[in-house]
């Protein structure tokens, strides 16, 4: 049953920059306390409420969601009350979760490197912050786009910066499908980082979520290095502005709705490198797809060598919630139980040193991600590498023959 009303709960919501957010009912009292410029309750259902707050209060509300409820960002920001009350629904064709491409998965797994993941984490976390309104947040988008372009050299593979009105942009790498190109798989993580202080904060965000972006980058790198040609289109997305209400992923959902995009599955990589619990990979069972989670269990057991468990993270704890809300099967494998989470995220102490300067833990998530891409994307590895090898051998033989000829003369 929906209760629709407008009630003033704090001083005043008359603001030059109102923001409409949906937030879990368990977090509503905390949200009221953090909304210093006032909060208006617009709608309440069983699980969540829709409220209007001042945009200036969003960083502190996000911080309270992190500290009190272990959610990043723990809310969904909508451009209008109508969208908040009636979430966008995307086309999503049902798929069969079969494991029948073991040869392709097994061929690429040995090429995944923890050292490469760690290097990317280090480079991203060396930036002052990746806050979505900051200059360094904007630079992070440009930096990542160039990194992805460096290995997305095959004709047809594209890398785009997607502008949704903020200095930071979402970054999208697309590997087009062959026989089922109209069916899209999304593998994503959020690019932004946050700490108290906003634009000027020191927010390295090595774990939250440079680790997810670095893991995502390694998956894409290895697939393209092996000239992987999926039947279904695969989009790798680094979302802007997750920490203040899943802004980037919500904007992508709206773009997909306008394009009538058919999204058959979404995987969220948000924090992959801090080993806080006794098992490697924890699948969030709330606000996710039970069927796709069962598929991930099969992938973990078949390909990763990792241990796994189930946990819950609460309302809108990351960008997978944007896809679930839009009717798309979505999953979020996480680095630990929520109770054992990294306590230093959203601070200047969220550095790679917390994981001993390495990315061994994240490697299990990279293996899972590449298995997800191939077993859901289907398709085949290309012959690029073998052709290149024969070309190099031929050039070497020709070069040697030329050298002998010159010496003989």
Helix, strand or coil, per DSSP, at residue 14: coil
Q: What is the DSSP string of 240-256?
A: S--TTTSHHHHHHHHHH
Query: Measuring CA to CA, how many Å separate 375 from each of 27, 37, 104?
Result: 38, 49, 9
Query: Measuring CA to CA, how many Å separate 344 from each of 67, 206, 340?
Result: 10, 10, 12
**Tokens 């050299």 — which residue?**
153
CB burial string 310-341: b at 16+ within 10 A, e below? ebebbbbbbbbbbbbbbebbbbbbbbbbbeeb
Q: Which two tokens stand for residue 314?
A: 């609460």
Helix, strand or coil, per DSSP, at residue 304: helix
Q: Just list the catalytic residues.
A: 190, 208, 242-243, 270, 346
Q: In what order do the strands lie in the sheet with 262-268?
A: 158-162, 170-175, 232-239, 180-190, 262-268, 330-331
d(CA 214, CA 210): 6
Contact (CB, 8 A) for 228 and 382: yes
Q: What is the DSSP string of 90-118?
A: -B----------HHHHHHHGGG--HHHHH
Query: Measuring CA to CA, how many Å separate 10 from each of 27, 157, 244, 316?
Result: 16, 50, 21, 24
């Amino acid at each position: 049953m929906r209760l629709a009303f407008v009630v003033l709960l704090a001083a005043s919501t008359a603001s030059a920059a109102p923001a409409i957010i949906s937030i879990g009912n368990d977090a509503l009292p905390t949200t009221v306390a953090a909304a210093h410029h006032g909060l208006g309750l617009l709608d309440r259902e069983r699980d969540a409420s829709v409220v209007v707050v001042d945009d200036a209060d969003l960083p502190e509300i996000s911080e309270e969601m992190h500290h009190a409820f272990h959610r990043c960002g723990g809310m969904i920001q909508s451009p209008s009350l109508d969208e908040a009350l009636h979430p966008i629904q995307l086309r999503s064709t049902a798929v069969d979760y079969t494991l029948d491409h073991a040869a392709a998965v097994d061929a690429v797994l040995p090429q995944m490197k923890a050292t490469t993941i760690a290097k990317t984490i280090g480079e991203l976390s060396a930036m002052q912050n990746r806050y979505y309104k900051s200059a360094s947040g904007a630079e992070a988008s440009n930096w990542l786009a160039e990194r992805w372009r460096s290995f997305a050299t095959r004709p047809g593979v594209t890398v785009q910066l997607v502008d949704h009105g903020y200095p930071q942009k979402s970054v999208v790498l697309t590997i087009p499908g062959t026989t089922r190109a109209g069916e899209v798989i999304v593998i994503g993580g959020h690019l932004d980082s946050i700490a108290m202080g906003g634009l000027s904060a020191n927010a390295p965000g090595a774990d939250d979520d440079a680790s997810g972006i670095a893991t995502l980058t390694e998956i894409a790198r290895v697939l393209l290095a092996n000239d992987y040609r999926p039947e279904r289109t695969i989009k790798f997305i680094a979302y802007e502005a997750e920490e203040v209400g899943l802004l980037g992923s919500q904007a992508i959902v709206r773009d997909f709705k306008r394009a009538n995009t058919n999204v058959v599955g979404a995987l969220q990589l948000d924090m992959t490198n801090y080993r806080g619990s006794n098992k490697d990979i924890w699948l969030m069972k709330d606000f996710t797809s039970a069927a796709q989670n069962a598929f991930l269990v099969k992938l973990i057991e078949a390909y990763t060598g990792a241990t796994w468990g189930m946990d819950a993270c609460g309302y809108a704890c990351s960008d997978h919630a944007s896809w679930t809300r839009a009717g798309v099967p979505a999953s979020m494998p996480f680095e630990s139980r929520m109770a054992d989470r990294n306590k230093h995220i959203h601070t200047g102490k969220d550095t790679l040193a917390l994981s001993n300067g390495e990315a061994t833990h994240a490697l299990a998530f990279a293996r899972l991600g590449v298995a997800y891409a191939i077993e859901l994307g289907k398709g085949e590895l290309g012959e690029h590498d073998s052709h290149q090898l024969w070309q190099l051998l031929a050039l070497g033989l020709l070069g040697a023959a030329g050298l002998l000829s010159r010496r003989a003369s």
